[in-house]
Amino acid sequence: GAINAMRDLHAQIRREVARKDMADHVKLGPGGIREIEFIAQVFQLIRGGRDPSLQIRPTLSVLKLLVERKLLPAESEQELREAYVFLRRLEHRLQYVEDKQTHMLPEDAAGQASVARSMGFADWPAMLAVLNGHREKVSRHFEQVFSDPEAGEHPLTGLWMGQLEADTAIEAFGNLGFRQPKDAIARLADLRAANRYLQLPSTNRSRLDAVGPRLIEAAGATADPDVTLARGLHFLEGIARRGSYLALLQQYPMALRRVADMICASNWAADYLNRYPLLLDELLDPRLYEIATDWAGFRENLKRNLADHAGDTEREMDILREVHHAQVFRLLAQDLSGLQTIERLSDHLTELADTVVQETLPLCWSTIKKRHCETPKFAVIGYGKMGGKELGYASDLDLVYLYDDDAQEAGENYSRLGQRLNTWLSSQTSAGILFETDLRLRPNGDSGLLAVSVDSFRDYQLKNAWVWEHQALTRARFCAGDPAVGAHFEKIRCEILCQQRDLTTLRDEVVAMRQKMVDAHASNSATEFDLKHDQGGIVDVEFIVQYLVLGYASQHPSLTGNLGNIALLRMAAELGLIEPQQAEAAGNAYREYRRLQHAKRLSATPKARVPREEIEKHIAAVNTLWQAVFGTASAAARP
């Protein structure tokens, strides 16, 4: 909207310049000072509300900030800066020579020679060549920012508006690659007849009618035009009352094409975009498909953004959500384009979760009025997928809170901190939520204290913890807070995992626990396979690894490393605990299960089940390793 308004304003200025024959006006003429100012100001108008550092006056300072924010290429800033400095120097020389407020180049030879000499040129033609070079660059950058992609009527407007005869419309959709043209026509008719469309403000409806034909065109270029159009129309209906989003898609057809590609590839992506349409802004970033995430820069930007709104709890919570959603969306775009492996994607999502928790923790501590110390001696421990660095897009966070502090108020303050951290992470705000959290893995579960001291944690793990709690400990790690507390936890974790255990008793308990899970969750289907819960699936691999760690870490402490299941299987094979071929086959199965599970998530399938015959060799590989590790105990438990 700001771009459209400033484009209109500039058009008025150009008409006025042309009317008054002011082509040689260094401020208002083509490629003049005003165009550079407009480029800086449009970014300030659009971004300044969310980035207060852009609320400054000097044009060159704004341009420099735009480069730092990755909103303007460095080479563009350099050309604009050099032009701006040259034009302002020329403006000053003109006013000095004329001794009045003027921006017009002189027409007489003497005046031209005087200005050229004052600018350091031998003659007027030499200066004019440099001036024209700067003005051409400025005009080019201005057109890149303010060009109107919607000039003229789109050729598919008649199809969008239902103005074609039925046979002609069916043929047109067919030519675009649609397999059910009649369904597409009916969807468009339903949209135009709906009250939501009819009651739109005229500006929004005109923008929707400008974007609609381009959606049809973009859908036709995807692998499944019919699905893309259906999801795309649902998305446009959802944002129709938000004129800024429609204006963005109207202004940047490239963004609409990327929307079409994403929602075609993944129903989950379509739902995510429907929930957070603010993410459309990310589609304009030329770095969207750069897979090397600058996490140091990400953290720095997040810290700066939070600092700009220090003390405003609501805005701080929204900033955390907006930044998190934007980064997830960038990873999603790369994932759907085939640029991320499941392992690398999980690493990124885990790094993102760690960063968000790390930045949220001090914000929560600052809101506790009766703090007994400036920096909390408190640590966030991640379990499950968080601890094992296997987070997916919608994974919840399994968290345990520990502290190492003898102060009298410590227990109460840290329990309050844990509760507040949980609220900040899981509360629904206008910007959505960050994570669902699960705190039940703490000592004594739901009945236990929200935050416990490291000494109490150790005492519980040594004396009262169940075997399954020690299994869970194999994937636990320090994620955020005081590194000293984190190191203390890691020492306790290794101590617990390296305890001498009776292998027969351990084996029986692990197998019994696995059977309980099979009874509760297995699909019991002869044709379908539940990737996670069925025998021969993901949980079996995890239980095998956990058993090997608990059973043999006393002899081989390297097994306590938080390396991931595939790496630990490989290590167990190298230590001679399992056959290398069986370890490799089970590792390959685990990797394929995770890939399939991830694909199910992207398609928004409720249950991660696949045809059993398609992965029979992987099921057999896991069952073979299970039999080798657990022997007769597994045979009794596994029909």
Q: Does 149 have pLDDT greater than 80? A: no
Q: What is the pLDDT of residues 507-516, one digit of tens each?
A: 999 999 999 9
3-state DSSP assignment of residue 479: strand
Residue 595: band (very low, low, confident or very high) from pLDDT cuts 50, 70, 90 = very high
Q: What is the pLDDT of residues 384-399, one digit of tens each?
A: 999 999 999 989 999 9
Answer for the pair 400, 442: CB distance below 8 angstroms, yes or no: yes
Q: What is the pLDDT of residues 238-252, one digit of tens each?
A: 999 998 899 889 888
Q: What is the pLDDT of residues 212-224, one digit of tens each?
A: 999 999 999 999 9
Residue 150: band (very low, low, confident or very high) from pLDDT cuts 50, 70, 90 = low
DSSP 104: B
Q: What is the pLDDT of residue 8?
A: 82
% pLDDT > 90, the chain: 84
Q: Put residue 384 in one of left, alpha, beta given phi > 0 → left and psi -120 to 50 → alpha.
A: left
Residue 635: band (very low, low, confident or very high) from pLDDT cuts 50, 70, 90 = very low
Residue 634: band (very low, low, confident or very high) from pLDDT cuts 50, 70, 90 = very low
Q: Does 260 have pLDDT greater than 80? A: yes
Measured CA to CA, the distance from residue 279 to residue 273 in angstroms comes to 7
Q: What is the pLDDT of residue 80?
A: 98
Q: Does 632 have pLDDT greater than 70? A: no
- Higher-confidence position of 4 and 10: 10
Q: How does the average pLDDT of the chain come out, rounded? A: 94
DSSP 281: G
Residue 13: band (very low, low, confident or very high) from pLDDT cuts 50, 70, 90 = confident
Measured CA to CA, the distance from residue 155 to residue 359 in angstroms comes to 50
Q: Can you give 552-616 as a three-state secondary structure string? A: HCCCCHHHHCCCCHHHHHHHHHHCCCCCHHHHHHHHHHHHHHHHHHHHHHHCCCCCCEEEHHHHH
Q: What is the pLDDT of residue 633?
A: 41
Q: What is the pLDDT of residue 5?
A: 81
Q: What is the pLDDT of residue 639?
A: 40
Q: What is the pLDDT of residues 261-275, one digit of tens each?
A: 999 999 999 999 999
Out of 120-134, 141-155, 286-300, pick the least confident: 141-155
